[in-house]
Structure 1
Amino acid sequence: MTHKTDIEIARAASKRPILEIGDMLGIGADDLLPYGHDKAKVSQAFIDSTKSKPNGKLILVTAINPTPAGEGKTTTTVGLGDGLNAIGKKAMICIREASLGPNFGMKGGAAGGGYAQVVPMEEMNLHFTGDFHAITSAHSLLSAMIDNHVYWGNELDIDIRRVVWRRVVDMNDRALRQITASLGGVANGFPREAGFDITVASEVMACLCLATDLKDLERRLGNMIVAYRRDRTPVFARDIKADGAMTVLLKDAMQPNLVQTLENNPAFVHGGPFANIAHGCNSVIATTTALKLADYVVTEAGFGADLGAEKFMNIKCRKAGIAPDCVVLVATVRAMKMNGGIAKADLGDENVDAVKAGCANLGRHIGNVKSFGVPVVVAINHFTGDSDAEVQAVKDYVVSQGSEAIVSRHWADGSKGSADLATRVAEIADSGVSNFAPLYPDEMPLFQKMETIAKRIYHADEVLADAKIRNQLKDWEEQGYGHLPVCMAKTQYSFSTDPTLRGAPTGHSVPVREVRLSAGAGFVVAVCGDIMTMPGLPRVPSAENIRLNDAGEVEGLF
């Protein structure tokens, strides 16, 4: 067992040149755009050339509701990918890029952990290949062009009280949530209320992650609604004539990033919408390309299965025409204990009763995922302090729910530790038992879609929304947007909208505070409870401990 930190393990990795990793997938040097020696973008021409190939098997990794004890979803995704390759399968990993906001806030990194990581770890968690900067820049260009249009005479007759396009920055900055823009007199335009979201909540991010190519991206960007006129008719980004220049800024960002795991297996790291306030999956172009290049593709969806997996199934799979062959639900003994009411400080003590009490959260996720018609395996992400009796309690519970649980020790042992999980997952994926269907049909009214998710996934009694919100949804339906799926913006910590309500609560309501139409991305966002589309930093942000050491290396990312 190791006492090395994640970053020390990552730094000691023996990486292969990225051209060799590309070669493993049949991607020639001409089709790779290297960013240094250990990361590269894959050309659109190569992606187009794979279209006629058959698809591999798609494996989705999701989890229980996150707790401060940690679940290790990305770590399991990476460990399972390495495990599949180690048992002789041709497998590839697809994960999201990390946002600077949470890196400097709570999380401190998003590339896996222990001996199940994607490298280069520092670059992936910082600027990487500049994709998020490009998204921020494209978004900011549109923001500037909207206000500029109004300043120079407002030919489109935009009602400046109804500009719905907010600004973005890739940082947790609560001071920017609500601002007043264009102060300072005639030279600066017309004062109006505005606000910032975090870049990963930008509709530009969602468009990039759901687009199939640059032409589709430009179409989606043009379809984004930026404002309304006094007669309530929408003004689109294409009316502002911003879609072409935005696409130019996003030209390279649209190409998937190829990197490798610690065991030199290929991974696409591309796109990164948050799962609590956006749709929470890596890009469609990365996933669909990986399915052409490997026999098994392991991908993850953000946070718990009530958010990430639900949106993966109802938004990403629906839009991309793909379906998971197997779902892996990650749980830890520690998290079960926390759900069972044990404080974080006491998690080291054996407590089988608390494990059993906390399993209700896991059970509900198993049932929810099965309701999509897909087989579920529980991966018990092993921590060194877990007792055999505690592990057995989880296994027994999962069997009682009509599923199976497999212990995976990838964090400590890499692919050796995940071989059992990989073997079983491959068997299930190959068996063809998946009978996937989204939770609701396109033609269901928007509010009913929200109710369906709230009742069937969150097990709530009702959705609360005032007349203004219901009328807004009806207006959108009349404008032809009723067929869109819904993206619920909700706390990740609970099935309810109350982050302190752990376990498997019932009898709760889901208050919808606001709805936003993402006409370019192709979904309607329902902002539920107190969720913020611009997070704040915690009292002691991770940034306080991130620095360069005397050797010029990054410390404090984990």
Structure 2
Amino acid sequence: MLSDIEISRQAKHRPINHIAIKLGIEASELSLFGDTKAKISLDILNRLQGNVEGKLVIVTAVTPTPFGEGKTVTSIGLTQGLNAIGKCATACIRQPSMGPVFGIKGGAAGGGFAQVVPMEELNLHLTGDIHAVSSAHNLAAAAIDACLFHESRLSREEYVAQSGSDPLNIDAKQILWRRVVDHNERSLRNISVGIGDNNGPVHDSGFDITAASELMAILALSRGLKDMRRRIGRLILALDTQGHPITAEDVGVAGAMTVIMSDAIEPTLMQTLTGDPCLIHAGPFANIAHGNSSIIADKIALKLSEFVITEGGFGSDMGFEKFCNIKVRESGRAPDTAVVVATLKALKANSGLESRNDINLPDMERLVAGFANLKWHIDNVSQYGIPVVVAINRFPTDTEEELQWLKSAVAETSAFGCEVSNAFSEGASGAEALARIVVSATEQASEFRFLYPLESSLEAKLMAIAESGYGAKGIILSDEAKQQLSQIKAIGLDGLGICVAKTPLSICHDPKVKGIPKDFDLPITQFKINAGAGFITALVGKVMTMPGLGVKPGYLNIDINEQDEIVGLA
């Protein structure tokens, strides 16, 4: 079979304005970036205000493994399959970060015959949104450090006379706004800034990956440009010497940050291999952020389509939980059904059983043991009150005997249905059966419910996620986390939601624990205030907000060939 990039390159792409017209987007609402991608003006929402919204489907998965579960493949394949059976469907996915592209995971365009094209344009830069987030974020970091510098060298009278405003009395030990870059760079996790003559005061800082920036979360959760401007103004950059928050509005940088991101607020339109529409917007990771594409993209797509397929990052304990408890609260739009993606490989890997056998070969013992992980995710999604469909993403080495056993096992659970997807190898036709069962699921009655009430205490919200979301028996706060929790309450932000940052490789905090973890406490090491995004991030265990490159990173395979074409992207 051809590689993903070869399949993408051989596809006959339709002019993107043709895709837009077919979907119902007018020429005046489109800003073209060549023939393959275009920005959609938010003015379209005014025109579509009276349109009835379509059905919203959220795609999630079992606990991730190194083999890849094919969540984006399934999302794109399902979109293609729905259109193939006569439905109008649009996909809404996140923009890939160059950290994973050049690191270990690769791109996020899907794969095989179920992908967004051109895949190299999606995976590299796209229309520049991630770079805009980086620039706006780092402007705020420069602004707060500049204020600190001038406050330290001038008297109060001199500062007021030269700046025209009162000093902020910044506490150099309480600057909360780090810098970002869209690459994996562990050496920048912890740094000192202000070193050298006339550059200080010296203070500790560091870098996160851009996908972890609060601005990325704001981009994904904003309802429009004015809402984004308000949220950016609420960003807490530092504390003053009295422990009071200093916001981007206080520093005077919020307006400039919004201007940098003013084009990024518009979703990007691309297409699948079969010419179906796909909206790309925002790119927060699900392990260190809330892991979902934008509310704006969903809203536009829902007004134009019968079905909108979106996805939450990693397993249902990660992006799906945050979709429900963070994104749905902000959008007011609950999903109509959920698709849980599983593979035979993933279930065997999640079995927790040691085996020297090739994981591609039949192994009923490990499959049966690993099924517990899939059942856990089915039950986890079901507790939100929406129908669940299981999609078995088929690999060439899968046997009919194992596939039939898995379908029979799923039939004994609370899932609405289960279907094998051959979208990777067959494209739209390989996902038609899945599409039909998803249509039926969206016709079922659902009673969506949140995991916790927003008005409950932060401790209660954390307990709800730990116990009901992960199966933990409780939570343990580090001394630092206890101090930060008291600070959050003193500032008056305990009414915000919770975004847990943890490993995606296990349902619990320990990536080595497979299957269904039991009898564990969830260790909260730190809290991070995201007042603009509207949630408090709870960092669990050893989770990092800046990934590092492995010993054999993906960039080793990426180059230009003799025909000046990009090779090695996956």
- Do Structure 1 and Structure 2 share a fold, with TM-score over 0.5? yes
Residue 343 of structure 1: how far off its partner (Å): 5.8
Match of 2:476 among 464, 471, 491: 464
Q: Which structure 1 segments of 5+ residues have no match?
A: none
Counterpart of 1:227? 238
Quote the Cα distance in structure 2 between the aligned partners of 1:538 and 1:223.
Answer: 36
Aligned position for 1:410: 423
Within 2, Cα distance between the matches of 1:434 and 1:343? 41
Corresponding residue for residue 157 of structure 1: 169
Structure 2 counterpart of 1:495: 507
Greater shift, 273-282 or 390-399, is seen at 390-399
Shift of 1:334: 1.0
The answer to whether the 8 A contact 1:105-1:537 is kept is yes
1:539 alignment partner in structure 2: 551
TM-aligned CA deviation for residue 339 of structure 1: 1.5
Q: 1:111 — aligned with what?
A: 109
Partner of 2:28: 30
Q: 1:101-140 maps to which residues of 2 (within 5 A)?
A: 101-140=99-138
Post-superposition CA distance 1:423-449 (Å, at most 9, x none): 010111123x12111110011101111
Q: Is the alpha carbon distance of 1:539 and 1:468 closer, same or farther for their aligned partners in structure 2, counting shifts above 3 Å?
A: closer
Q: 1:346 aligns with which of 358, 366, 374?
A: 358
Which residue is 2:455 aligned to? 443
Secondary structure of the residue that 1:44 maps to in structure 2?
coil
- Structure 2 equivalent of residue 486 of structure 1: 498
Contact 1:94 1:299 in 2 (8 A): yes
Alignment of 1:429 onto 2:442: yes
Compared CA separation, residues 343 and 297, structure 1 to 2 (3 A): farther
Distance 1:177 1:344, change over 3 A: farther
Give the residue type in structure 1 aligned to 2:265. Answer: M
Q: How does 1:316-355 map to 2 (within 5 A)?
A: 316-340=327-351, 341=353, 346-355=358-367
> For the residues of structure 1 that align with 2:471 and 2:81, how far apart are their CA atoms?
35
8 A contact 1:275–1:307 mirrored in 2: yes
Structure 1 residue 130: deviation in Å? Answer: 0.4
> Partners in 2 of 1:526 and 1:45 — Cα distance?
36
Matches of 2:356 and 2:236, distance apart in 1? 45
Return the offset for 1:108. Answer: 1.6
- CA contact 1:546–1:555 (8 Å) conserved in 2: yes
Q: 1:371 to 1:545 in 2, by over 3 A?
A: same
Match of 2:288 in 1: 277
Give the distance between the partners of 1:72 and 1:344, measured in 2 at CA: 25
Q: What is the total number of aligned residue pairs between the two structures?
A: 554
Q: Do 1:460 and 1:509's aligned partners in 2 also have CA atoms closer than 8 Å?
A: yes
The more displaced of 155-164 and 50-59 is 50-59
> 1: CA distance between counterparts of 2:487 and 2:526?
15
1:556 maps to a residue whose letter is G
Q: Which digits, 9 at most, give the CA deviation of each residue in 1:37-88, with x for residues without a partner? A: 1100001212332223221100000000110121000000000000000000
Q: Structure 1, residues 358-384: CA drift from partner, whole Å, max 9, x if none?
A: 011111111110000011010000111
Contact 1:352 1:393 in 2 (8 A): no
Q: Which residue of 2 aligns with 1:212?
A: 223
Q: In the superposition, relative to structure 1, how do residues 36 and 343 fare at CA in structure 2: closer, same or farther (>3 Å)?
A: farther
Alignment partners' CA distance in 2, 1:358 and 1:89 = 35
Deviation, structure 1 residue 402: 2.4
Structure 2 unaligned residues grouped into runs of 5+: 153-166
Secondary structure at 1:153's aligned position in 2?
Answer: helix
- Deviation of 1:214 after TM superposition, in Å, equals 0.7
Counterpart in the other structure of 2:158: none
Aligned to 2:489: 477
| Contact 1:57/1:430, CA 8 A, preserved across alignment | no
Match of 1:142 among 130, 136, 140: 140
Equivalent residue runs for 1:236-315 within 5 Å: 236-315=247-326
**TM-score scaled to structure 1, two decimals?**
0.98
Task: Give distance in 2, aligned partners of 1:412 and 1:30.
Answer: 37
C-alpha distance after superposition, 1:524-547 (max 9, x if no partner) = 000000100001011100001110
| Deviation, structure 1 residue 349 | 1.4
CA RMSD of superposed structures (Å)? 1.2
Equivalent-residue separation in structure 1 for 2:96 and 2:85 (angstroms): 29
Q: Quick one: distance in 2 between partners of 1:195 and 1:344?
A: 42
Question: Partner amino acid for 2:253?
Answer: A
Deviates more, 1:76-85 or 1:42-51: 42-51
String of CA shifts for 1:212-251, please: whole Å, max 9, x gaps.
Answer: 1111001000101000011111000100111111111101
**Secondary structure of 2:250's partner?**
coil
Secondary structure, aligned partner of 1:150: helix
Once residues 345 and 125 of structure 1 are traced to their aligned partners in structure 2, the CA distance between those partners, rounded to angstroms, is 35
Compute the displacement of 1:406 (Å).
0.8
- The one-letter code of the counterpart of 2:148 is V
Q: Aligned partner of 1:9: which letter?
A: I
| Matched AA of 1:390 | E
Residue identity (%): 46
Per the alignment, in what secondary structure is the counterpart of residue 49 of structure 2?
coil
- Rounded to whole Å, the distance in 1 between the matches of 2:130 and 2:266 is 13
TM-score between both structures, scaled by the size of structure 2: 0.96
Per-residue deviation, residues 479-505 of structure 1 (Å, max 9, x unmatched): 332221100000000011110111111
Deviates more, 1:151-160 or 1:57-66: 151-160
Deviations 1:76-110 (A, max 9, x none): 00000000000000110000000000110011211
Q: Alignment partner of 2:204: what SS? A: strand
Tell me by how many angstroms 1:507 deviates.
Answer: 0.9
Q: Which position in structure 1 is the counterpart of 2:161? A: none
Matches of 1:71 and 1:344, distance apart in 2: 21
Q: 1:71 aligns with which of 55, 69, 72?
A: 69
Deviations 1:86-143 (Å, cap 9, x if unpaired)? 0000110000000000110011211001000011100111111000000000001111
Distance in 2 of aligned mates of 1:467 and 1:196: 24
Distance in structure 2 (CA, Å) of the matches to 1:315 and 1:540: 36
Whole-Å separation in 2 of the counterparts to 1:73 and 1:342: 26
Q: What is aligned with 2:432?
A: 419
Aligned partners of 2:420 and 2:220: how far apart in 1? 32
Q: Give the equivalent residue in structure 1 for 2:57.
A: 59
Residues in 1 aligned to 2:103 and 2:232: alpha-carbon distance in whole angstroms: 30
**Which amino acid letter does the alignment assign opposite residue 124 of structure 1?**
L
Instruction: Measure the CA separation in 2 of the matches of 1:470 and 1:427.
Output: 47
Residue aligning to 1:87 = 85
Q: CA deviation at 1:471?
A: 4.4
SS of structure 2 residue aligned to 1:346: coil
| Match in the other structure for 2:159 | none
Pair 1:386 & 2:398 matched? yes
* Stretches of 4+ aligned residues off by more than 6 angstroms: none
SS at match of 1:79: helix
Match of 1:203 in 2: 214
1:100 to 98, 101, 114: 98
How far apart are 1:467 and its partner, in Å? 4.7
Aligned to 1:398, which of 403, 410, 416?
410
Contact 2:480 2:525 in 1 (8 A): no
Give the Cα–Cα distance (whole angstroms) in 2 for the partners of residues 338 and 427 of structure 1.
31
Match of 1:192 in 2: 203
SS of residue matched to 1:69: coil
